[in-house]
Structure formats: structure tokens, C-alpha cells
Amino acid sequence: MESETKSEIIDATNRVLCEHGYAGLTMRKIADESSLTTAAIHYHFDTKEELLNAFLDDLIERFKTELASEASDPRERLTAFLDAVFTPTNPDADGFPVAIMELKAQAPFQGLFRERFLDLDDMMREAVAEIVADGIDNGHFEEADPNDVARLVTTTINGSHVRQVALGEPLDETRHLLENTLELHLGWRPGSEVVA
């Protein structure tokens, strides 16, 4: 598939998903949101699930790029990580976190979705564990198990996502909480390198 066509289909999927949710996502609506026909979309993706798998894959790739930091100081990298996860990916679309929550609720029935969410979790945990290990090596962070800290961070991020959708709670509430907890674990508070 030409990557331009693929991008166009994925962008249209994103818009339809944010506006109509998982149940309302149809090839027809995606065609209406793009310059392609439903036949052309079906040619590239047999099913709605394959299309959403490509959508999640694209999301993970973009997030990976966003997380790739130029900084070498693990403190800056940890703050940049929190900035990336607690900044809305799709600020114009209120429906985006809801749509992702719906796809998570589908994961027990859609093996491809579950694989993508596991990929995303692995990617995030590896990124955090590496930063924490570097920070301990450099003496910036206190001794801790990098994998335990990484699990704590991703689980808290998962919690912030539910709270945003179910309770309408701002993401910053959880970010603040996570910063407190990281300070206890690492002896260092994300964001405090700016002040120092």
C-alpha cells in the first residue's frame, strides 16, 4: 500500500472514531471522511478490526517518536516522558480518550487490539525502566528496581486514562500524584530539574 493512502485512511479513521465511537465506525463513514471509496478502503483492509489494528500501530509509532528524547540527563528524560503521556495526543478531539477506552474494552474479544495494547505497554515500560536505570547509574536517583518503577508509572497512567473518561478528572491530578510517588521511590521529583 502506498504510505500516503494508508495515512489518509488512518487519519479518516481517527476522525470517525473520535466523533462516532467504536460502535459507530463504518467503512462508509471513513470513505466520507476521505477521498477514497469504500471499495478502495476494503481493498487495503479486509475488516474494521484490521483497520483499527493499523490505527493503533500508527499511534504507537507516533508515540515512540514523541518519546525519543535528545536529552542525555535521565531527569530531563523522565520529565519529558511525563510531558508526552500527560499531554493530550489529539487535543482537538474530546472523543479520543473515550475511543481508546472503547478499544481497550474490546481487547478481550479482538486479539489484534490486545497485542497492540501489550506493545504499547511494553514500549512505555521499557522506556521508563531504561531512564530509571540510567538515573541510578548516574547517581541522580536513589536505588530502586527499574522494572517495578516502570510498572508503577504505566499502571498509574492507565488509571489516569480511566479517571479522565469515567470521572471527567483532569490528567494533571494524576500527574501530580505520580510525581509525589516517584519522589518517594527515586528521591527525585520530575520537573524539579527546571528549578534546580
Residues that bind a second copy (CB under 8 A): 23, 94, 98, 101-102, 104-105, 107-108, 113-114, 117-118, 121, 148, 151-152, 154-163, 165-168, 173-174, 177, 180-181, 184-185
Q: Which residue has the cell 509509532?
A: 61
* Closer residue to a second copy, CB minimum distance, 38 or 181: 181
Least distance to a second copy from the beta carbon of 74, Å?
20
* Closer residue to a second copy, CB minimum distance, 31 or 136: 136
* Closer residue to a second copy, CB minimum distance, 37 or 192: 192
* Closer residue to a second copy, CB minimum distance, 79 or 160: 160
Least distance to a second copy from the beta carbon of 192, Å?
18
Measure the CA–CA gap between 75 and 72, rounded to whole angstroms: 9
C-alpha cell at position 40? 478502495
Q: Which residue has the cell 506493545?
A: 119
Contacts of 179 (CB under 8 A, 6+ apart): 82, 189, 190, 191
Measure the CA–CA gap between 163 and 184, rounded to whole angstroms: 23
* Closer residue to a second copy, CB minimum distance, 39 or 167: 167
Least distance to a second copy from the beta carbon of 191, Å?
17
CA distances 148 to 78, 103, 105, 155, 195, Å, are 15, 26, 25, 11, 27
CB of 155 closer than 8 Å to CB of 149: no
Least distance to a second copy from the beta carbon of 112, Å?
13
30: alpha, beta or left? (left if phi > 0; alpha if psi -120 to 50): alpha
Least distance to a second copy from the beta carbon of 128, Å?
13
Least distance to a second copy from the beta carbon of 115, Å?
10
* Closer residue to a second copy, CB minimum distance, 20 or 42: 20
DSSP 143: S
